A and B are shown apart, each in its own frame.
Chain A
Amino acid sequence: MNDLRNLVSTLVDKHGRDEESLLPILQGIENSESYVSQEAMVEIAKELNISAAQVYGTATFYSFLSIQPLGKYVIRVCKTITCSMHGKNQVISELENMLKIKLGETTSDKRFSLLETNCLGQCHKGPAMLINDEPYTDLTPEKVREIIRDIQQKEFAVN
């Protein structure tokens, strides 16, 4: 709770106390916490002198802000038309197989979340996905395996 309060106040100091800072502050919370919790929203509301409901209203509008905890690596696969035409479903199946979760779920070790998203602006290189902020394009099941294996190995090395 205190950590959260510190995080919020650091973000508020950085971005300012006006309502205009709300989105950057929420993004900051999302980045460090993987989601925006109730407590975080109440804290932000106090700092910006707006209602907690207003923070909630804004937070739930944006699909990159989550009110559920997500994994360390959030995978968002584009489901829009050209990616869909070029094998998005195979990409998702492969991810589901590797991570042993279904679309919309988070692995039990809290490492990966698998989500769909709308057009990523990579349509000429579809299928495409984001892992956190990084785009991955021209995906094939083989390529997906490599990408995930790399991350898993990196994670393994860290622990």
Chain B
Amino acid sequence: MTKKALFIDPGRCIGCQACVAACRECDSHPGKSMIHLDYPDPGNSTAAAPTVCMHCSDPVAPCAQVCPTDAIPIDEQGIVGSASEELCIGCGNCVHACPFGVPKLDLVEMLQSKCDMCYDRTSQGKLPMCASVCPTDALFFGTQAELMQKRPGVQAVDIFGFGDETVRTNNAMVAPAGKNLDRIPGGYSREPDSRE
């Protein structure tokens, strides 16, 4: 059985903030949104890009690997959770090691929290909060087959390039179908002038 995942298509995102508001309503972190919604070119463009945890599988969760107290749990499906309250010492390692810029650190509470793909919902067959409200399906939750059926003109890519390294993830990005891509550029390159 092909498992379900979040498929992210920034090209469809209209920056409406519905996902941010919905995430805040989640029972496991009421009042706090775990989703990042960034505007890459504010003032010139309405383009927006949502970031959720990609649940890295290879290398498996860099955030959890650099955690000095094993505070970040990973379940058998590869879902990477928020830090355990009793273990997290708020050191910030995970925040800076995550290649996608996902974990948040509350400096008052000295506690990390991050997107856990709405574990309490998805483990019961429900949609993650963000995908349940996204009006454009920029955040689509389902199997890859379901995605392709809905949008035949796309492909899903779950490998990201960071410099010479690649990171494989449980969630995937959506890209145009014809595009010859062996990886999605992660934005990091050792040559400063090739940064966009």
Do chains A and B stick together as partners? Answer: no
